A and B are shown apart, each in its own frame.
Chain A
């Protein structure tokens, strides 16, 4: 469990519960690398991984390294704690990130944006990934301003 402090959402899972399709993502995450499954036919990147490419119906993907940077597509500042233990975490920023090296929609990531002043976050901000290792098997992707 990551430390509870303002701006950092405490992730309630300590294992990614990976299957064969998602395990490479989490293996790379533990090494601090952001990777994504790319369709071997049409190069569409799909996150979270899915069984088929929604563009061409291909079922074969290869994991490729992504730059680990992206752009804030939208965000919200969560100010109301929905559970008692979140009182120490709010306000925190939850964001949708469009990743460089992908087509955008279909490979967006939802992540906690940390080490930022919530009042100065804007759509279009450039951000980079940080991996928060919460256990030996799970490194949670968060983002911060680049």
Chain B
């Protein structure tokens, strides 16, 4: 018995989204609490009802948040490993906790404040600091493997994803025009939304006039880096029926990836040729559709993790909206725009609305399925939300109204 339709998202909460570093004097903790309390209020629940935390990317310490909020008893506190690839999978972790009976009301949350650190330059301290003791992953000693990559000059996630993109272009003829279509489409979605940090239109001319950061990626292929918090509260389908909003059911959720994907992103790039130039989501997508009992044709709106434009393309392939290698022409035909075959990132995504490590996508999916999204897809019944690519796990969740 799978957990299909047994649990639901019942509340969403969020802080305003801020430009990087501009959320002060709020803190990561205060913003997390604001989002969680907001999500509980949205559901018609209180802190007294909350008993679980299902997180990813070390967003919060549940011990600290529960203590600050005065949660009566924590019955579930777990995280997916690794980073942003777990965003959609955290919803599945929450659903598993609820479906198994370990907890009743579980929150997933991301909170981000980049005043003192930047995710986009996480490896710069190792590569650029001139220190012999620098280690990008901990404050401890230097791992013997670091010497094998430190001379490459690959310092940022953008350069890493540029390598996958270059290979995709080589194999399939994908072009910068295709990447531009993703950036421009998402900007057009963002500018109708008051929450968006990007408020002006983006033209093809703007795109090609922008500076190259790491070929073949230019400025507009990159996510923004922002501050803010978003939380989603989940409970059982039974309990969800009596709450404030119509439930948004967890139709299915999967995370993981091919075993040899693991070190592919940002470290060693040893993934086999058949899925090197991919988003790493292919096996996750297969399990997800099987659990949900639906096909790509059934999905009405896709909220795809978009730290870099080419990874939207590769997810369109891996989630079966087009064939492998065909995503460039697919987007060029307007298929991901509002009114297209599969509208993508109707909120503007990380590229143009705000970057809260995947959780603005969860918020948009819920708004779409409640029918109150600003860029509403008419009659949307099923939404896909994804997390990653990043190091394994990557994740996907299908939601239905």
Asked if B153 and A9 make an inter-chain contact with CB atoms under 8 angstroms apart, the answer reads yes
| Bound CA–CA A22/B144 (angstroms) | 7
Does A9 lie within 8 Å of B151, measured CB to CB?
A: yes
Distance from A112 Cβ to chain B, minimum over Cβ atoms (Å): 5
Other-chain contact of A76, B134, B159, B270 (Cβ < 8 Å): B159
What per-residue 1/0 map shows which CB atoms of B183-226 lie under 8 Å from chain A?
Answer: 00000000000000000000000000001111111000000000
Pairwise interchain contact A94-B146, C-beta atoms closer than 8 A: no
Known: A74-B164, A78-B153. A48 touches B214 (CB 8 A): no
Flag if A13 contacts B142 (CB, 8 Å): yes
**Complex Cα spacing A51 to B165, Å:** 30
- In the complex, which of the residues B124, B144, B152 contacts A94, with contact meaning CB atoms closer than 8 Å? B152
Q: Is residue A6 within 8 Å, beta carbon to beta carbon, of the partner chain?
A: no
Q: Are A26 and B166 in contact (CB under 8 A)?
A: no
| B156 interfacial contact with A, CB 8 Å | yes
- From B52-60, B100-108, B125-133, B358-366, the one touching the partner chain is B125-133
The answer to whether the Cβ of B271 comes within 8 Å of any Cβ in the partner chain is yes
Q: Cβ of A16 and Cβ of B214 under 8 Å apart?
A: no
Contacts of B330 in A (CB 8 A): none
A110 near B268: Cβ-Cβ < 8 Å:
yes
How far, in whole Å, are A70 and B251 apart by their CA atoms in the complex? Answer: 47
Q: Which residues of A contact B143 (CB under 8 A)?
A: 17
Is B260 interfacial (CB 8 A cutoff)? yes
User: Which partner residue on chain A sits nearest B269 by CB separation?
Assistant: A96
Q: How far is the CA of A14 from the CA of B133 in the complex (A)?
A: 10
The residue that B147 contacts in the complex, of A17, A85, A92, with Cβ under 8 A, is A17
Number of interface residues of A (CB under 8 A): 53
| CB neighbours of A86 from chain B (8 A) | 128
- Contact: B214 with A109, CB < 8 Å? no
Residue-by-residue, is A97-128 near B (CB-CB < 8 Å gives 1, otherwise 0)? 00000001111111110000010000110000
Smallest beta-carbon distance B311→chain A, Å: 15
Task: Indicate if B163 sits at the interface (CB-CB under 8 A).
Answer: yes
The answer to whether A110 and B147 have CB atoms under 8 Å apart is no
The answer to whether A85 and B130 touch across the interface, beta carbons within 8 angstroms, is yes
CA distance A69 to B146 in the complex (A): 22
With known contacts A77-B214, A79-B214, A96-B163, A9–B152 Cβ distance under 8 A = yes
A54 contact set on B, CB distance < 8 A: 260
Q: Is B26 an interface residue (CB 8 A)?
A: no
Q: Which residue of B lies closest to A84 (CB)?
A: B128
Asked if B162 lies at the interface with its beta carbon under 8 angstroms from chain A, I say yes
Closest chain B CB from A92 CB (angstroms): 5
**A59 interface residue, CB < 8 Å from B?**
no
- A121 to B216: give the CA distance in the assembly, Å: 12
User: Contact between A13 and B147 (Cβ–Cβ < 8 Å)?
Assistant: yes
- Residues on A with C-beta less than 8 A from B164 are 74
Flag if B273 contacts A105 (CB, 8 Å). yes
Q: Is residue B241 within 8 Å, beta carbon to beta carbon, of the partner chain? A: no
Nearest Cβ on chain A to B267's Cβ, whole angstroms: 9
Given A73-B167, A79-B212, A96-B163, A110-B148 contact (CB < 8 Å): yes
Cβ-defined contact, A82 with B142, below 8 A: no
Interface residues of B in 14-63 (CB under 8 A from A): none
The answer to whether the Cβ of A63 comes within 8 Å of any Cβ in the partner chain is: no
- Cβ–Cβ < 8 Å partners of B215 in chain A: 76-77, 79, 118
- A17 in contact with B273 given A12-B134, A26-B147, A47-B148 (CB within 8 Å): no
**Please, what's the 1-or-0 string for B98-141, where 1 marks a CB less than 8 Å from any CB in chain A?**
00000000000000000000000100101111111010000001
Judged by a CB distance under 8 angstroms, whether B378 is at the interface is: no
Interface centre among B143, B212, B215, B217, by most A CB within 10 Å? B215
Cross-chain pairs A/B with CB under 8 angstroms, 7 sampled: A17-B144, A79-B215, A82-B127, A94-B154, A94-B163, A118-B215, A132-B151
Seen from chain B, the residues whose Cβ lies within 8 Å of a Cβ on chain A are 121, 124, 126-132, 134, 141-156, 159, 162-164, 166-167, 170, 211-217, 260, 268-273, 276
Q: A residues bordering B, Cβ < 8 Å?
A: 1, 9, 11-19, 21-22, 25-26, 47-49, 54, 73-80, 82-83, 85-86, 89, 92, 94-96, 104-112, 118, 123-124, 132, 138, 140-142
Q: A9-B153, A138-B147 are in contact. List 11 more A-B contacts (CB 8 A).
A: A13-B134, A16-B144, A19-B144, A48-B149, A73-B167, A76-B163, A76-B217, A82-B124, A83-B155, A105-B272, A123-B170
